[in-house]
Amino acid sequence: MQSENSSVNTEAKKIQTSKVPPSEGFREAFLLHLADTTLILTQRNGAWCGHGPILEQDIAITNITLDLIGQSRNFYQYAAKLINESSLAPSPVEKAGDEATEDSLAYLRTEREFKNLLLVEQENGDWAQTIVRQFLFSVYQYFLFEQLQNSKDDQLAAIAAKSLKEVTYHVSWSADWVIRLGDGTDESNERMQKAIAALWPYTGEMFMQADYEQGIISEIHLLKDRWIEKVKTVFEEATLAIPENIFMQSGGKNGVHTEKLGHILAEMQYLQRTNLGAKW
Protein backbone atom coordinates (compact mmCIF):
# COMPACT_ATOMS: atom_id res chain seq x y z
CA MET A 1 0.00 0.00 0.00
CA GLN A 2 2.69 2.40 1.05
CA SER A 3 4.87 1.62 -1.92
CA GLU A 4 1.89 2.30 -4.14
CA ASN A 5 1.56 5.72 -2.59
CA SER A 6 5.17 6.59 -3.02
CA SER A 7 5.12 5.56 -6.65
CA VAL A 8 2.11 7.81 -7.19
CA ASN A 9 4.04 10.60 -5.53
CA THR A 10 7.05 10.21 -7.76
CA GLU A 11 4.75 10.15 -10.76
CA ALA A 12 3.19 13.39 -9.62
CA LYS A 13 6.59 14.90 -9.01
CA LYS A 14 7.71 13.87 -12.47
CA ILE A 15 4.79 15.64 -14.04
CA GLN A 16 5.47 18.74 -12.01
CA THR A 17 9.09 18.96 -13.01
CA SER A 18 8.41 18.23 -16.64
CA LYS A 19 8.11 21.89 -17.52
CA VAL A 20 11.18 21.33 -19.65
CA PRO A 21 10.30 19.74 -22.99
CA PRO A 22 10.66 15.92 -22.84
CA SER A 23 13.55 15.96 -25.23
CA GLU A 24 15.50 18.13 -22.78
CA GLY A 25 17.01 15.25 -20.81
CA PHE A 26 17.34 12.90 -23.76
CA ARG A 27 20.83 13.87 -24.76
CA GLU A 28 22.13 13.51 -21.20
CA ALA A 29 20.42 10.12 -20.85
CA PHE A 30 21.80 8.91 -24.15
CA LEU A 31 25.31 10.04 -23.24
CA LEU A 32 25.03 8.25 -19.91
CA HIS A 33 23.86 5.12 -21.73
CA LEU A 34 26.98 5.25 -23.93
CA ALA A 35 29.24 6.07 -20.99
CA ASP A 36 27.80 3.38 -18.71
CA THR A 37 28.00 0.72 -21.43
CA THR A 38 31.68 1.37 -22.15
CA LEU A 39 32.49 1.69 -18.44
CA ILE A 40 30.87 -1.61 -17.46
CA LEU A 41 32.62 -3.46 -20.29
CA THR A 42 35.86 -1.82 -19.14
CA GLN A 43 35.27 -3.14 -15.64
CA ARG A 44 34.54 -6.64 -16.98
CA ASN A 45 37.46 -6.79 -19.44
CA GLY A 46 39.79 -5.25 -16.88
CA ALA A 47 39.58 -8.45 -14.86
CA TRP A 48 41.58 -10.16 -17.63
CA CYS A 49 44.59 -7.93 -17.00
CA GLY A 50 47.42 -10.27 -16.02
CA HIS A 51 45.23 -13.32 -16.70
CA GLY A 52 45.04 -13.42 -20.51
CA PRO A 53 45.63 -16.80 -22.18
CA ILE A 54 48.94 -15.60 -23.63
CA LEU A 55 50.92 -12.40 -23.16
CA GLU A 56 50.04 -10.83 -26.53
CA GLN A 57 46.33 -11.38 -26.01
CA ASP A 58 46.50 -10.15 -22.43
CA ILE A 59 47.96 -6.95 -23.88
CA ALA A 60 45.37 -6.85 -26.66
CA ILE A 61 42.34 -7.12 -24.38
CA THR A 62 43.74 -4.55 -21.96
CA ASN A 63 44.54 -2.14 -24.81
CA ILE A 64 40.97 -2.50 -26.08
CA THR A 65 39.82 -1.84 -22.55
CA LEU A 66 41.98 1.26 -22.37
CA ASP A 67 40.24 2.57 -25.49
CA LEU A 68 36.88 1.83 -23.88
CA ILE A 69 37.66 3.69 -20.66
CA GLY A 70 38.86 6.64 -22.75
CA GLN A 71 35.61 6.67 -24.68
CA SER A 72 33.67 6.30 -21.46
CA ARG A 73 35.43 9.29 -19.90
CA ASN A 74 34.69 11.41 -22.95
CA PHE A 75 30.99 10.56 -22.72
CA TYR A 76 30.83 11.15 -18.95
CA GLN A 77 32.67 14.45 -19.19
CA TYR A 78 30.31 15.68 -21.85
CA ALA A 79 27.25 14.41 -19.96
CA ALA A 80 28.49 16.17 -16.81
CA LYS A 81 28.90 19.42 -18.71
CA LEU A 82 25.36 19.24 -20.10
CA ILE A 83 23.90 18.26 -16.75
CA ASN A 84 25.61 21.16 -15.01
CA GLU A 85 24.40 23.58 -17.65
CA SER A 86 20.82 22.32 -17.58
CA SER A 87 18.14 22.71 -14.96
CA LEU A 88 17.84 18.96 -14.53
CA ALA A 89 19.57 18.04 -11.30
CA PRO A 90 20.14 14.28 -11.15
CA SER A 91 20.74 12.47 -7.92
CA PRO A 92 24.56 12.18 -8.07
CA VAL A 93 24.85 15.95 -8.07
CA GLU A 94 22.70 16.22 -4.97
CA LYS A 95 24.47 13.35 -3.28
CA ALA A 96 27.92 14.72 -3.87
CA GLY A 97 26.66 18.18 -2.94
CA ASP A 98 28.61 19.52 -5.85
CA GLU A 99 28.60 19.71 -9.59
CA ALA A 100 28.30 16.54 -11.66
CA THR A 101 31.69 15.22 -12.75
CA GLU A 102 32.82 12.16 -14.66
CA ASP A 103 33.60 10.61 -11.26
CA SER A 104 30.30 11.41 -9.57
CA LEU A 105 28.45 9.98 -12.56
CA ALA A 106 30.51 6.78 -12.59
CA TYR A 107 30.78 6.18 -8.85
CA LEU A 108 27.67 7.62 -7.23
CA ARG A 109 24.81 6.46 -9.39
CA THR A 110 22.81 3.40 -8.42
CA GLU A 111 22.09 0.25 -10.36
CA ARG A 112 18.67 1.58 -11.40
CA GLU A 113 20.33 4.70 -12.76
CA PHE A 114 22.86 2.81 -14.89
CA LYS A 115 21.72 2.59 -18.50
CA ASN A 116 24.30 0.15 -19.85
CA LEU A 117 23.40 -2.66 -22.23
CA LEU A 118 22.72 -5.98 -20.51
CA LEU A 119 25.25 -7.62 -22.83
CA VAL A 120 28.26 -5.90 -21.28
CA GLU A 121 27.41 -6.82 -17.68
CA GLN A 122 27.43 -10.53 -18.49
CA GLU A 123 30.22 -12.56 -16.95
CA ASN A 124 33.63 -12.96 -18.57
CA GLY A 125 33.25 -16.74 -18.51
CA ASP A 126 36.03 -18.42 -20.44
CA TRP A 127 38.06 -16.73 -23.19
CA ALA A 128 35.41 -17.78 -25.74
CA GLN A 129 32.67 -15.94 -23.88
CA THR A 130 34.79 -12.81 -23.50
CA ILE A 131 35.59 -12.92 -27.23
CA VAL A 132 31.96 -13.41 -28.28
CA ARG A 133 30.82 -10.57 -26.01
CA GLN A 134 33.51 -8.27 -27.39
CA PHE A 135 32.76 -9.16 -30.99
CA LEU A 136 28.97 -8.75 -30.73
CA PHE A 137 29.46 -5.45 -28.95
CA SER A 138 32.26 -4.03 -31.11
CA VAL A 139 30.34 -4.67 -34.33
CA TYR A 140 27.34 -2.88 -32.83
CA GLN A 141 29.53 -0.02 -31.63
CA TYR A 142 31.12 0.27 -35.05
CA PHE A 143 27.85 0.80 -36.91
CA LEU A 144 26.46 2.99 -34.12
CA PHE A 145 29.44 5.34 -34.12
CA GLU A 146 29.41 5.40 -37.89
CA GLN A 147 25.98 7.03 -37.58
CA LEU A 148 26.85 9.20 -34.62
CA GLN A 149 29.91 10.73 -36.26
CA ASN A 150 27.42 12.62 -38.45
CA SER A 151 25.39 13.81 -35.46
CA LYS A 152 24.31 17.45 -35.38
CA ASP A 153 25.75 17.52 -31.88
CA ASP A 154 29.36 18.46 -32.61
CA GLN A 155 30.87 17.04 -29.44
CA LEU A 156 29.01 13.73 -29.74
CA ALA A 157 30.09 13.54 -33.38
CA ALA A 158 33.69 14.23 -32.38
CA ILE A 159 33.76 11.51 -29.71
CA ALA A 160 32.15 9.04 -32.12
CA ALA A 161 34.58 9.84 -34.94
CA LYS A 162 37.53 9.50 -32.58
CA SER A 163 36.23 6.21 -31.15
CA LEU A 164 35.36 4.75 -34.54
CA LYS A 165 39.03 4.46 -35.48
CA GLU A 166 39.67 2.47 -32.31
CA VAL A 167 36.60 0.28 -32.67
CA THR A 168 37.69 -0.65 -36.19
CA TYR A 169 40.64 -2.45 -34.58
CA HIS A 170 38.42 -4.03 -31.93
CA VAL A 171 36.16 -5.49 -34.60
CA SER A 172 39.03 -6.89 -36.61
CA TRP A 173 40.75 -8.37 -33.55
CA SER A 174 37.63 -9.98 -32.10
CA ALA A 175 36.45 -11.25 -35.51
CA ASP A 176 39.84 -12.95 -35.98
CA TRP A 177 39.40 -14.68 -32.64
CA VAL A 178 35.82 -15.72 -33.39
CA ILE A 179 37.08 -17.38 -36.58
CA ARG A 180 40.12 -18.92 -34.95
CA LEU A 181 38.13 -20.47 -32.11
CA GLY A 182 34.99 -21.31 -34.11
CA ASP A 183 36.95 -22.95 -36.87
CA GLY A 184 39.46 -24.43 -34.42
CA THR A 185 39.17 -27.66 -32.48
CA ASP A 186 35.97 -29.46 -31.51
CA GLU A 187 36.34 -28.12 -28.02
CA SER A 188 36.93 -24.50 -29.03
CA ASN A 189 33.96 -24.66 -31.40
CA GLU A 190 31.76 -26.12 -28.67
CA ARG A 191 32.80 -23.44 -26.20
CA MET A 192 32.10 -20.71 -28.75
CA GLN A 193 28.67 -22.10 -29.51
CA LYS A 194 27.96 -22.25 -25.78
CA ALA A 195 29.07 -18.64 -25.36
CA ILE A 196 26.86 -17.54 -28.24
CA ALA A 197 23.87 -19.31 -26.69
CA ALA A 198 24.54 -17.61 -23.35
CA LEU A 199 24.92 -14.10 -24.80
CA TRP A 200 22.52 -14.05 -27.73
CA PRO A 201 19.42 -13.22 -25.60
CA TYR A 202 21.11 -9.94 -24.64
CA THR A 203 21.72 -8.74 -28.19
CA GLY A 204 18.12 -7.85 -29.08
CA GLU A 205 18.13 -4.92 -26.68
CA MET A 206 20.70 -3.07 -28.78
CA PHE A 207 18.04 -2.53 -31.42
CA MET A 208 15.07 -1.73 -29.18
CA GLN A 209 14.88 2.00 -29.18
CA ALA A 210 14.82 3.71 -25.79
CA ASP A 211 12.84 6.95 -25.49
CA TYR A 212 16.00 8.97 -25.21
CA GLU A 213 17.41 7.49 -28.41
CA GLN A 214 14.60 8.96 -30.48
CA GLY A 215 15.86 11.71 -32.68
CA ILE A 216 19.47 10.72 -31.97
CA ILE A 217 19.66 7.31 -33.62
CA SER A 218 17.35 7.69 -36.53
CA GLU A 219 18.03 4.47 -38.33
CA ILE A 220 18.02 1.78 -35.69
CA HIS A 221 16.73 -0.81 -38.18
CA LEU A 222 19.55 -0.04 -40.55
CA LEU A 223 21.89 -0.53 -37.60
CA LYS A 224 20.37 -3.94 -36.94
CA ASP A 225 20.61 -5.01 -40.59
CA ARG A 226 24.26 -4.06 -40.82
CA TRP A 227 25.07 -5.69 -37.51
CA ILE A 228 23.43 -9.00 -38.37
CA GLU A 229 25.05 -9.03 -41.80
CA LYS A 230 28.55 -8.62 -40.35
CA VAL A 231 27.91 -11.15 -37.57
CA LYS A 232 26.58 -13.69 -40.08
CA THR A 233 29.57 -13.30 -42.39
CA VAL A 234 32.06 -13.85 -39.59
CA PHE A 235 30.08 -16.69 -37.99
CA GLU A 236 29.85 -18.47 -41.35
CA GLU A 237 33.60 -18.32 -41.77
CA ALA A 238 33.95 -19.53 -38.18
CA THR A 239 31.50 -22.41 -38.80
CA LEU A 240 29.29 -21.11 -36.01
CA ALA A 241 25.51 -21.03 -36.04
CA ILE A 242 23.27 -18.14 -35.04
CA PRO A 243 20.62 -19.23 -32.52
CA GLU A 244 17.05 -19.01 -33.74
CA ASN A 245 13.77 -18.09 -32.05
CA ILE A 246 15.43 -16.79 -28.92
CA PHE A 247 13.52 -14.62 -26.46
CA MET A 248 15.34 -11.30 -26.20
CA GLN A 249 15.96 -9.77 -22.79
CA SER A 250 15.73 -6.02 -22.39
CA GLY A 251 15.71 -3.31 -19.75
CA GLY A 252 19.36 -2.32 -19.42
CA LYS A 253 18.90 0.90 -21.39
CA ASN A 254 16.26 1.94 -18.87
CA GLY A 255 18.02 0.80 -15.73
CA VAL A 256 16.49 -2.67 -15.31
CA HIS A 257 19.46 -5.00 -15.02
CA THR A 258 20.43 -8.56 -14.35
CA GLU A 259 21.64 -9.17 -10.80
CA LYS A 260 25.21 -9.10 -12.07
CA LEU A 261 25.34 -5.32 -12.34
CA GLY A 262 24.81 -4.92 -8.61
CA HIS A 263 27.89 -7.03 -7.95
CA ILE A 264 29.95 -5.06 -10.46
CA LEU A 265 28.94 -1.73 -8.93
CA ALA A 266 29.51 -2.95 -5.39
CA GLU A 267 33.12 -3.68 -6.27
CA MET A 268 33.68 -0.70 -8.56
CA GLN A 269 32.03 1.96 -6.40
CA TYR A 270 33.02 0.71 -2.96
CA LEU A 271 35.89 3.10 -2.38
CA GLN A 272 34.03 6.25 -3.41
CA ARG A 273 30.91 5.17 -1.54
CA THR A 274 32.78 4.66 1.71
CA ASN A 275 35.28 7.51 1.29
CA LEU A 276 33.41 10.15 -0.68
CA GLY A 277 35.78 12.23 -2.78
CA ALA A 278 38.81 10.04 -2.04
CA LYS A 279 41.74 10.83 -4.34
CA TRP A 280 45.27 9.67 -4.85
Partner 1 sequence: MQNINTDFKTNPINNKASQVPPEERFREAVFSLLEQVPDPEVPVLSILDLGIVRDVKVIDDKVEIIITPTYSGCPAMDAISMDIRFKLIEYGYKNIKITQVLTPVWTTDWMTENGKKKLLEYGIAPPKRSTNNEDEMPKCPQCKSANTKLLSQFGSTACKALYQCNDCKEPFDYFKCH
The total of other beta-carbon atoms located within 10 Å of residue 44's CB is 21
Subset of residues 195 to 254 that bind partner 1, contact rule: CB under 8 A: none
141 lines the binding site for partner 1 (CB under 8 A)? no
The total of other beta-carbon atoms located within 10 Å of residue 181's CB is 21
Query: Which parts of the chain are beta strand (E)?
Result: none
Q: How far apart (Å, rounded) are the C-alpha atoms in residues 193 and 31?
A: 33
Q: How far apart (Å, rounded) are the C-alpha atoms in residues 141 and 98?
A: 32
Is 181 in contact with 191 (CB distance < 8 Å)?
yes
Phi, psi (rounded to 5 degrees) for 46: -55, -25
Residues 22/27/30/35 CA torsion (nearest 10 deg): -140
Residue with Cβ nearer partner 1 (81 or 224): 81
70 lines the binding site for partner 1 (CB under 8 A)? yes
256 lines the binding site for partner 1 (CB under 8 A)? no
Residue with Cβ nearer partner 1 (118 or 159): 159
The total of other beta-carbon atoms located within 10 Å of residue 175's CB is 22
Size of the site for partner 1 (CB under 8 A): 27
63 lines the binding site for partner 1 (CB under 8 A)? yes
Residue with Cβ nearer partner 1 (104 or 163): 163
68 lines the binding site for partner 1 (CB under 8 A)? yes
Nearest-approach distance from CB 166 to partner 1, in angstroms = 6
Nearest-approach distance from CB 31 to partner 1, in angstroms = 14
Binding site for partner 1 (CB under 8 A): 56-57, 59-60, 63-64, 66-71, 73-74, 154-155, 157-159, 161-163, 165-166, 169, 172-173
